[in-house]
């Protein structure tokens, strides 16, 4: 992005999936997969974007 003169100013990190149905009847393995994806994907995507961004400046308070 930097080579093209572009800069990331914000990220909408809406990664994941959901299931439908009563919680008590959901497949426990499927719920574990959902949690793994919903957490890991957000962390992985955030790290990928952060790697190409300059470090933020500390607030001037």
Kindly state whether residue 4 falls inside one of the protein's structural domains. no
> In terms of Cα–Cα distance, which of 19, 11, 13, 9 is closest to 42?
13
Kindly state whether residue 34 falls inside one of the protein's structural domains. yes
Q: How many domains does the chain have?
A: 1
pLDDT in the model for residue 53: 75
* Domain span holding position 36: 25-55
Query: Per residue in 30-44, pLDDT tens?
Result: 999 999 988 898 888
End-to-end C-alpha distance for the chain, whole angstroms: 31
Predicted TM-score (pTM) of this structure: 0.58
Kindly state whether residue 11 falls inside one of the protein's structural domains. no
CA distance 36 to 58: 32
Q: Are 38 and 16 in contact, with CB atoms under 8 Å apart?
A: yes
Kindly state whether residue 33 falls inside one of the protein's structural domains. yes
Kindly state whether residue 13 falls inside one of the protein's structural domains. no
pLDDT at 11 over 90: no
- Token pair of 37, please? 């994806």
Kindly state whether residue 31 falls inside one of the protein's structural domains. yes
Kindly state whether residue 60 falls inside one of the protein's structural domains. no
Q: What is the mean pLDDT of residues 10-29?
A: 85
pLDDT in the model for residue 2: 60
Kindly state whether residue 8 falls inside one of the protein's structural domains. no
């Amino acid at each position: 992005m930097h080579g093209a003169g572009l800069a990331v100013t914000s990220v909408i990190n809406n990664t994941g999936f959901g299931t439908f149905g009563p919680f008590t009847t959901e497949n426990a393995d499927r719920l574990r997969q959902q949690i793994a994806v919903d957490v890991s994907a957000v962390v992985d995507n955030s790290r990928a974007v952060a790697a190409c961004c300059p470090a933020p400046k500390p607030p001037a308070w």
